[in-house]
Structure 1
Amino acid sequence: EELVGEAIVALAALGVPRETLWIQTKFTPFAGQDETVATVPYDPTASVYDQVMQSFLQSQRNLRSSYVDSLLLHSPMESLERTLTAWSALEELHFRGQARRLGISNCYSLDFLSA
């Protein structure tokens, strides 16, 4: 993300408007993170909702953008309740205009989506 942020700034300096770029990022649950806690962009002891918000704030800093075109939940979480909590945080970011579109990746069960 940091390198993408640098590229966005460099392109802006060349006259390329942010609106012409498509930027997507994601929230990755702790179980999907690298093994070192130092690389996790949120407090793993925080609530799921706060983890999503902290992660997105770090993405904004890295990308140097007030919004993204697409924000994904990297995968369903270990329970439906936690997944819905994470999704509600994504929806809040969407309602604030900080994430124009929302999605979920690595979801292999249509039954999960119908819950």
Structure 2
Amino acid sequence: MPKQTVPNVTLNNGVQIPQLGFGVFQVPPEETQRIVEDALEAGYRHIDTAAAYGNEAAVGAAIAASGIPRADIFLTTKLRNGEQGTAREAFGHSRRELGVDYVDLYLIHWPVPSRNLFAEAWKAMEELHAGGEIRAIGVSNFLANHLDTLLQSADVVPAVNQFELHPTFQQPELAAKSRSLGIAVEAYSPLGQGADLDAAAVTSVADGHGVPPAQVVLAWHLAQSTIVIPKSANSGRMRDNLAAVDVVLTPEEIGGITALEAGARIGSDPAVAAHSQM
């Protein structure tokens, strides 16, 4: 085990999620088992996948091969956009692909407002949660108006809202809205897919601390109680990213990175994204 101890965030239903996890977006299925095994060996205990990634089976194989008790691994997967009308069946397929009895966190991957099915999907997820097949349910890429619509009929407040968040695209209003509702914020593309690592506000802090720029950006996220799921196929960088939990930034350093906000969205806009392919 590594010397780093990853802190937990307590979700609104009492479930604890490791604040720094490992994402497998765009990791080819044929490489996923090896990469996830490397991540688990490095010390990660929070793995984030999705039905749309096509690599759930490989994630499950890595977990099984690791020998780590299932209860010690926090596992997230997501509902495919085209299956919001059949969420119960979609979840069952994901669970079988993963080879597990339960999933720790299940997310609606995108709101897909043009289809207007996410509230229906949520009801099915609430039933699965009540039955113990999912420990916590949440959403991904939900904007403020999507949250408002969902909460009009929801009995369970989402535990997590996972969305694009990095120094040059922080979505502060959405983060504040989510947190005000008791919804934990989880950042994907937390490093801006690498684009944010060359900013002077990041590199100067990295030089001062004697650490890689990625550690600085991840430490910036962690300091704000944000859950982060960086990915890397390189075991050395996996360990470097995990070591971000030991980097303590000053308020001035945090402020300098926060000032990088530039509205630089990398991914699709949830307000209009259909993502039928997912």
TM-score of the two chains, using structure 1 as the length reference: 0.73
Moved more, 74-83 or 95-104: 74-83
Does structure 1 residue 67 correspond to structure 2 residue 102?
Answer: yes
Instruction: Please list, as runs of the form range in 1=range in 2, the aligned pairs for 1:14-33 lying within 5 A after superposition.
Output: 14=67, 16-30=68-82
Q: What CA distance in whole angstroms lies between the structure 2 residues aligned with 1:75 and 1:2?
A: 21
Q: CA deviation at 1:8?
A: 1.7
CA contact (8 A) 1:74 1:104 kept: yes
Instruction: Specify the structure having the higher radius of gyration (Cα).
Output: 2
Q: What CA distance in whole angstroms lies between the structure 1 residues aligned with 2:122 and 2:133?
A: 14
Seen in structure 2, the aligned counterparts of structure 1 residues 58 and 64 have a Cα distance that, compared at 3 Å, is same
Q: CA deviation at 1:92?
A: 0.8
Q: Decide which of 108, 111, 114 is 2:145's aligned counterpart.
A: 111
TM-score of the two chains, using structure 2 as the length reference: 0.32
Structure 1 runs of 4+ with >6 Å offset: none
Q: What secondary structure is seen at the aligned counterpart in 2 of 1:107?
A: coil
Aligned length: 94
Alpha-carbon deviations, 1:78-114, whole Å to 9, x = none? 3585211000011111001111111111112x12212
Residue aligning to 1:6: 61
Give the counterpart letter for 1:26 in structure 2: K
Structure with greater strand share of residues: 2
Q: What CA distance in whole angstroms lies between the structure 1 residues aligned with 2:124 and 2:146?
A: 19
Does structure 1 residue 89 correspond to structure 2 residue 124?
Answer: yes
Q: What CA distance in whole angstroms lies between the structure 1 residues aligned with 2:120 and 2:114?
A: 10
Structure with greater helix share of residues: 1
Instruction: Please list, as runs of the form range in 1=range in 2, the aligned pairs for 1:33-52 lying within 5 A after superposition.
Output: 48=85, 51-52=86-87
Residue aligning to 2:234: none
CA contact (8 A) 1:8 1:64 kept: no
Moved more, 58-67 or 73-82: 73-82
CA contact (8 A) 1:71 1:101 kept: yes
Q: What CA distance in whole angstroms lies between the structure 2 residues aligned with 1:103 and 1:21?
A: 18
Identical-pair percentage: 36
Unaligned runs of 5+ in 1: 31-41
Give the counterpart letter for 2:80 in structure 1: T
Does structure 1 residue 98 correspond to structure 2 residue 133?
Answer: yes
Residue aligning to 2:243: none
